[in-house]
Protein backbone atom coordinates (compact mmCIF):
# COMPACT_ATOMS: atom_id res chain seq x y z
CA UNK A 1 0.00 0.00 0.00
CA UNK A 2 1.31 3.41 -0.91
CA UNK A 3 0.30 6.98 -0.33
CA UNK A 4 -1.06 8.70 -3.43
CA UNK A 5 -0.13 12.21 -4.53
CA UNK A 6 -2.91 13.71 -2.45
CA UNK A 7 -1.97 11.68 0.61
CA UNK A 8 -4.79 9.12 0.44
CA UNK A 9 -4.03 5.43 0.64
CA UNK A 10 -4.09 3.58 -2.66
CA UNK A 11 -4.41 -0.15 -3.10
CA UNK A 12 -2.21 -1.98 -5.53
CA UNK A 13 -2.21 -5.72 -4.79
CA UNK A 14 -4.23 -8.25 -6.70
CA UNK A 15 -5.64 -11.24 -4.84
CA UNK A 16 -7.02 -14.68 -5.51
CA UNK A 17 -9.89 -15.22 -3.07
CA UNK A 18 -10.78 -18.85 -2.48
CA UNK A 19 -13.71 -20.36 -0.67
CA UNK A 20 -12.55 -23.36 1.37
CA UNK A 21 -15.09 -26.20 1.38
CA UNK A 22 -15.81 -27.17 -2.21
CA UNK A 23 -12.83 -25.29 -3.67
CA UNK A 24 -9.78 -26.13 -1.56
CA UNK A 25 -11.18 -29.35 -0.12
CA UNK A 26 -14.05 -31.67 -0.96
CA UNK A 27 -17.16 -30.47 0.87
CA UNK A 28 -18.33 -33.37 3.01
CA UNK A 29 -20.20 -30.97 5.33
CA UNK A 30 -18.63 -29.18 8.31
CA UNK A 31 -15.14 -30.56 7.67
CA UNK A 32 -13.02 -30.02 10.78
CA UNK A 33 -10.72 -33.07 11.04
CA UNK A 34 -7.54 -33.82 9.13
CA UNK A 35 -8.85 -37.29 8.33
CA UNK A 36 -11.85 -35.79 6.53
CA UNK A 37 -9.85 -33.19 4.60
CA UNK A 38 -9.46 -34.20 0.94
CA UNK A 39 -7.86 -31.62 -1.34
CA UNK A 40 -9.68 -30.80 -4.58
CA UNK A 41 -7.91 -31.73 -7.81
CA UNK A 42 -5.85 -28.86 -9.16
CA UNK A 43 -5.84 -26.66 -6.06
CA UNK A 44 -2.07 -26.82 -5.49
CA UNK A 45 -1.33 -25.92 -9.12
CA UNK A 46 -3.77 -23.02 -8.94
CA UNK A 47 -2.30 -21.57 -5.76
CA UNK A 48 1.25 -22.11 -7.03
CA UNK A 49 0.39 -20.20 -10.22
CA UNK A 50 -1.00 -17.31 -8.17
CA UNK A 51 2.16 -17.26 -6.03
CA UNK A 52 4.35 -17.19 -9.15
CA UNK A 53 2.38 -14.21 -10.47
CA UNK A 54 2.72 -12.28 -7.20
CA UNK A 55 -1.01 -12.59 -6.52
CA UNK A 56 -1.92 -12.70 -2.83
CA UNK A 57 -3.86 -15.88 -2.00
CA UNK A 58 -6.64 -15.38 0.55
CA UNK A 59 -9.14 -17.89 1.88
CA UNK A 60 -12.58 -16.52 2.78
CA UNK A 61 -14.76 -19.16 4.39
CA UNK A 62 -18.07 -19.34 6.21
CA UNK A 63 -17.62 -21.71 9.13
CA UNK A 64 -21.15 -22.13 10.47
CA UNK A 65 -20.05 -25.39 12.08
CA UNK A 66 -18.39 -23.25 14.74
CA UNK A 67 -21.55 -21.22 15.22
CA UNK A 68 -23.68 -24.35 15.43
CA UNK A 69 -21.39 -25.79 18.10
CA UNK A 70 -20.06 -28.69 16.01
CA UNK A 71 -16.44 -27.69 16.60
CA UNK A 72 -14.52 -24.82 18.19
CA UNK A 73 -12.55 -21.93 16.75
CA UNK A 74 -9.44 -23.58 18.20
CA UNK A 75 -10.10 -26.75 16.19
CA UNK A 76 -10.67 -24.65 13.06
CA UNK A 77 -7.34 -22.86 13.59
CA UNK A 78 -5.50 -26.14 14.13
CA UNK A 79 -6.90 -27.55 10.89
CA UNK A 80 -6.09 -24.31 9.07
CA UNK A 81 -2.48 -24.45 10.25
CA UNK A 82 -2.22 -28.05 9.04
CA UNK A 83 -3.83 -27.14 5.69
CA UNK A 84 -1.42 -24.27 5.12
CA UNK A 85 1.45 -26.60 5.94
CA UNK A 86 0.28 -29.00 3.24
CA UNK A 87 0.42 -26.17 0.71
CA UNK A 88 3.97 -25.29 1.78
CA UNK A 89 4.97 -28.94 1.27
CA UNK A 90 3.59 -28.67 -2.28
CA UNK A 91 5.62 -25.49 -2.95
CA UNK A 92 2.52 -23.31 -2.73
CA UNK A 93 1.43 -20.69 -0.21
CA UNK A 94 -1.81 -19.41 1.24
CA UNK A 95 -1.12 -15.90 2.50
CA UNK A 96 -4.15 -15.17 4.67
CA UNK A 97 -7.30 -16.85 5.97
CA UNK A 98 -10.51 -15.08 6.97
CA UNK A 99 -13.48 -16.94 8.41
CA UNK A 100 -16.97 -16.15 9.61
CA UNK A 101 -18.17 -18.43 12.44
CA UNK A 102 -21.72 -17.07 12.58
CA UNK A 103 -25.11 -18.35 11.51
CA UNK A 104 -28.22 -16.13 11.49
CA UNK A 105 -30.71 -18.75 12.72
CA UNK A 106 -28.82 -21.84 13.92
CA UNK A 107 -25.89 -20.24 15.72
CA UNK A 108 -25.58 -20.74 19.47
CA UNK A 109 -25.04 -17.91 21.95
CA UNK A 110 -22.94 -15.07 20.48
CA UNK A 111 -22.60 -16.91 17.17
CA UNK A 112 -26.28 -16.48 16.37
CA UNK A 113 -26.37 -13.37 14.23
CA UNK A 114 -26.61 -12.23 10.65
CA UNK A 115 -23.05 -10.94 10.65
CA UNK A 116 -21.70 -8.79 7.81
CA UNK A 117 -18.67 -11.06 7.57
CA UNK A 118 -20.79 -14.03 6.47
CA UNK A 119 -21.14 -14.57 2.74
CA UNK A 120 -23.17 -13.52 0.75
CA UNK A 121 -22.21 -10.29 2.53
CA UNK A 122 -18.84 -8.89 1.43
CA UNK A 123 -17.42 -8.27 4.91
CA UNK A 124 -14.43 -10.64 4.68
CA UNK A 125 -13.47 -9.21 1.29
CA UNK A 126 -13.60 -5.65 2.57
CA UNK A 127 -11.59 -6.70 5.64
CA UNK A 128 -8.91 -8.18 3.40
CA UNK A 129 -8.89 -5.04 1.28
CA UNK A 130 -8.43 -2.86 4.35
CA UNK A 131 -5.88 -5.10 6.06
CA UNK A 132 -3.73 -5.94 3.06
CA UNK A 133 -4.19 -3.16 0.51
CA UNK A 134 -6.00 -5.35 -2.02
CA UNK A 135 -7.39 -3.91 -5.24
CA UNK A 136 -10.66 -5.83 -5.40
CA UNK A 137 -11.36 -4.78 -8.98
CA UNK A 138 -8.08 -6.42 -10.06
CA UNK A 139 -8.76 -9.61 -8.11
CA UNK A 140 -10.35 -13.01 -8.68
CA UNK A 141 -12.78 -14.94 -6.49
CA UNK A 142 -13.48 -18.65 -6.88
CA UNK A 143 -16.38 -20.23 -5.03
CA UNK A 144 -18.68 -23.19 -5.42
CA UNK A 145 -21.90 -21.52 -4.28
CA UNK A 146 -23.86 -18.51 -5.45
CA UNK A 147 -23.36 -16.95 -2.00
CA UNK A 148 -19.63 -16.78 -2.84
CA UNK A 149 -20.37 -15.09 -6.16
CA UNK A 150 -22.82 -12.67 -4.51
CA UNK A 151 -20.16 -11.65 -1.98
CA UNK A 152 -17.62 -11.07 -4.73
CA UNK A 153 -20.04 -9.01 -6.76
CA UNK A 154 -21.08 -6.94 -3.74
CA UNK A 155 -17.43 -6.19 -2.98
CA UNK A 156 -16.60 -5.24 -6.57
CA UNK A 157 -14.27 -8.17 -7.24
CA UNK A 158 -13.34 -7.92 -10.91
CA UNK A 159 -13.57 -11.60 -11.81
CA UNK A 160 -15.95 -13.98 -10.05
CA UNK A 161 -15.79 -17.67 -10.93
CA UNK A 162 -18.26 -20.38 -9.94
CA UNK A 163 -16.73 -23.85 -9.72
CA UNK A 164 -19.40 -26.36 -10.59
CA UNK A 165 -18.90 -29.87 -11.94
CA UNK A 166 -22.28 -29.76 -13.64
CA UNK A 167 -22.35 -28.59 -17.23
CA UNK A 168 -25.08 -25.99 -17.54
CA UNK A 169 -26.45 -24.19 -20.55
CA UNK A 170 -26.26 -20.45 -19.91
CA UNK A 171 -27.14 -19.47 -23.46
CA UNK A 172 -30.54 -18.17 -22.39
CA UNK A 173 -29.17 -15.51 -20.06
CA UNK A 174 -26.19 -13.25 -19.62
CA UNK A 175 -24.09 -14.10 -16.57
CA UNK A 176 -21.97 -11.58 -14.73
CA UNK A 177 -19.60 -14.34 -13.60
CA UNK A 178 -17.73 -17.24 -15.15
CA UNK A 179 -18.39 -20.96 -14.71
CA UNK A 180 -15.68 -23.59 -14.65
CA UNK A 181 -16.00 -27.35 -14.29
CA UNK A 182 -12.58 -27.95 -12.75
CA UNK A 183 -9.93 -25.84 -11.06
CA UNK A 184 -7.43 -26.14 -13.89
CA UNK A 185 -9.90 -24.11 -15.99
CA UNK A 186 -9.11 -21.12 -13.75
CA UNK A 187 -5.41 -21.05 -14.67
CA UNK A 188 -5.87 -18.76 -17.71
CA UNK A 189 -7.58 -16.20 -15.47
CA UNK A 190 -4.60 -16.27 -13.13
CA UNK A 191 -2.09 -15.70 -15.92
CA UNK A 192 -4.07 -12.81 -17.35
CA UNK A 193 -5.70 -11.59 -14.15
CA UNK A 194 -8.48 -10.39 -16.40
CA UNK A 195 -11.88 -11.65 -17.41
Residues belonging to the active site: 19, 21
Q: How many CA atoms lie within 13 A of 126 on its CB side?
A: 12
Instruction: Compute how many other C-beta atoms are within 10 angstroms of the C-beta atom of residue 13.
Output: 17
DSSP 97: E
For residue 96, what are the CA distances in angstroms to 2, 99, 176?
Answer: 20, 10, 27
Of the candidates 37, 46, 23, 63, the residue with the CA atom closest to the CA atom of residue 165: 23
**Beta strands 9-10 and 2-3: pairing type?**
antiparallel
96 beta partners: 58
Total residues found in the chain within this entry:
195
Amino acid sequence: MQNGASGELTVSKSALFLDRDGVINVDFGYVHKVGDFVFCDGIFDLVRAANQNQITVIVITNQAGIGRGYYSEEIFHELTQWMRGQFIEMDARIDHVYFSPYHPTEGVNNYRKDDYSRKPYPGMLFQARNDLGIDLNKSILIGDKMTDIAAGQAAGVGCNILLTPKIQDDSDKVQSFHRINQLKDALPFISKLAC
